[in-house]
Amino acid sequence: MKNLDKKKGHHLNFYATLWIAMAMISPPAICENLIEEYERWLEKQSQNEVNLKEKSFDRDLLKLECAERIGFEFTNSNNRQAKASCPGNWRRYLKVPKVIALEMTTKNRAQVPSKKRNAFIFARNIEKGSQITRKDLKTITKNRQLPANVLTSFESLGHSYLQRDAKQGELLLKTDLKKSVSALLAIKMLPTGVRIDQSHFRLSKLTHDIPPDPVMGLEGLDYMTTNKRIKAGQVLRERDLRKAKLIRRNDTVNLVYETDAFSIDAKGVALADGYYGNRVRARNLESNLIVSGIVIDYGTISTNSSKKSGN
Chain segment 150-164, per-residue pLDDT in tens: 888 887 788 899 999
Alpha-carbon gap, residue 229 to 224, rounded angstroms: 14
Claim to verify: residue 106 and residue 150 sit in the same structural domain: no
Residue 2 in domain: no
pLDDT band at 306; cut points 50, 70, 90: very low
Whole-number average pLDDT of the chain: 84
Which of 193, 226, 243 marks a domain boundary? 243
Question: Considering only 31-40, 122-131, 228-237, 263-272, which range has the smallest mean pLDDT?
Answer: 31-40
Claim to verify: residue 41 and residue 106 sit in the same structural domain: yes
8 A C-beta contact, residue 82 and residue 90: no
pLDDT band at 292; cut points 50, 70, 90: very high
**Total domains in the fold of the chain:** 4
Which of 52, 86, 111 marks a domain boundary? 111
48-71: pLDDT as tens digits: 788 777 767 777 777 788 888 889
Closest by Cα among 239, 241, 240, 258 to 297: 258
Residue 15 in domain: no
> What pTM was estimated for this model as a whole?
0.54
Claim to verify: residue 103 and residue 80 sit in the same structural domain: yes
Residue 154 in domain: yes
The CATH number assigned to the domain holding 290 equals 2.30.30.760
What pLDDT shows up at residue 25? 45
Residue 6 in domain: no
Claim to verify: residue 207 and residue 265 sit in the same structural domain: no
Residue 261 in domain: yes
The CATH number assigned to the domain holding 202 equals 3.90.1210.10
Region 28-41: mean pLDDT is: 74
pLDDT band at 110; cut points 50, 70, 90: low
Q: Are strands 300-302 and 252-258 parallel, antiparallel or unpaired?
A: parallel
Structural domain span for residue 271:
246-302
Residue 18 in domain: no
Q: Whats the size of the chain, residue-wise?
A: 311
For 108, how many CA atoms within 13 A lie in the half-sphere containing its CB? 13
**Phi, psi for residue 77 in degrees, rounded to 5:** -70, -25
8 A C-beta contact, residue 1 and residue 9: no
Residue 4 in domain: no
Alpha-carbon gap, residue 36 to 282, rounded angstroms: 95
Claim to verify: residue 105 and residue 39 sit in the same structural domain: yes
Alpha-carbon gap, residue 302 to 217, rounded angstroms: 28
Claim to verify: residue 189 and residue 174 sit in the same structural domain: no
